[in-house]
Chain A
Amino acid sequence: NAGVMQNPRHLVRRRGQEARLRCSPMKGHSHVYWYRQLPEEGLKFMVYLQKENIIDESGMPKERFSAEFPKEGPSILRIQQVVRGDSAAYFCASSPPRGRTEQFFGPGTRLTVL
């Protein structure tokens, strides 16, 4: 089991461009979570998804950010018209349907906005 995969590991975008971050959960996991870590801060919850459903998006900024977890393929966190303040490390975690309290983390994607 390869663990949670995230790509790219590093992403550089200019202001106004779009950023797409991908997360492949562990095999057998149907729950995906996205967290953001700003410099000098802890991880902050953004969104929780199950296949084809957004369960909790209370941590997502109201504009420019969206997430999906389609029936097939990885979960995508999409940031439109990026700004410098979006520069951060974005972590994905997954958990199985049972025993949901343990979340397994990916290596993260470090987004830099120039």
Chain B
Amino acid sequence: AQRVTQPEKLLSVFKGAPVELKCNYSYSGSPELFWYVQYSRQRLQLLLRHISRESIKGFTADLNKGETSFHLKKPFAQEEDSAMYYCALYRDFGNEKLTFGTGTRLTIIP
């Protein structure tokens, strides 16, 4: 069965410092990986997906199949990045559900 692991429940980073939120997955097939973000008092929303290979709000994430990781990175943290971040996996071939990690609460210290 597929699994998504986010080892850090809480992460505090100073403004302007680099950010890395870790995500590891276990799945033998070809997964599709996502990062979702939930800002305070807002609904969960898609931040980025690995297949689009784009940078959103300065965040990037590279799928590393060898290490089965999909870490989220930003070179310079901003206060508005404070939020809850969830890594999610979507299986291929018709299984429509997302498997979520437990989430990491990122706090940016001014």
Give A residues with C-beta under 8 Å from B.
3-4, 31, 33, 35, 40-45, 48, 55-56, 58-59, 91, 93, 95, 100-108
Interface stretch, picked from B14-22, B68-76, B98-106, is B98-106
- Do most interface residues of chain B lie in helix, strand or loop, or is the interface mixed? strand
Closest to A48 in B: B96
Residues from chain A with Cβ under 8 Å of B45 in the complex: 105
Number of residue pairs A-B, CB distance < 8 angstroms: 53
Chain B interface, number of residues (Cβ within 8 angstroms):
21
- Is B44's CB within 8 Å of the partner chain A? yes
Given known contacts A91-B44, A102-B46, A107-B43, A43 and B96 CB-to-CB distance under 8 angstroms: no
For the complex formed, measure the closest distance between the CB of B7 and the CB atoms of chain A, giving whole angstroms.
13
In the assembled complex, the Cα of A42 lies from the Cα of B96 at a distance in Å of 18
Tell me whether B32 is interfacial, beta carbon within 8 Å.
yes
| Residues of chain A contacted by B30 (CB below 8 angstroms) | none
Minimum CB–CB distance from A38 to chain B (whole Å) comes to 10
Interface pair A56/B95, CB less than 8 Å apart: yes
The interface residues of chain B lying within 8 Å CB-to-CB of A41 are: 102
Nearest residue (CB) in A for B32 is: A101
In contact, B103 and A42 (Cβ under 8 angstroms): yes
Contact between chains at B90 and A106 (CB < 8 Å): no
Q: Is the CB of A102 within 8 A of B86?
A: no
* Closest CB in chain B relative to A99 CB, distance in Å: 11
For A108, the chain B residues whose CB sits under 8 A away are 43
The residues of B that contact A106 with a CB separation of less than 8 Å are 43
- On whether the beta carbons of B43 and A45 are closer than 8 Å, the reply is no
B43 touches A103 (CB 8 A): no
Q: Are B43 and A56 in contact (CB under 8 A)?
A: no
Contact of A45 among B46, B98, B102, B103 (CB under 8 A): B98
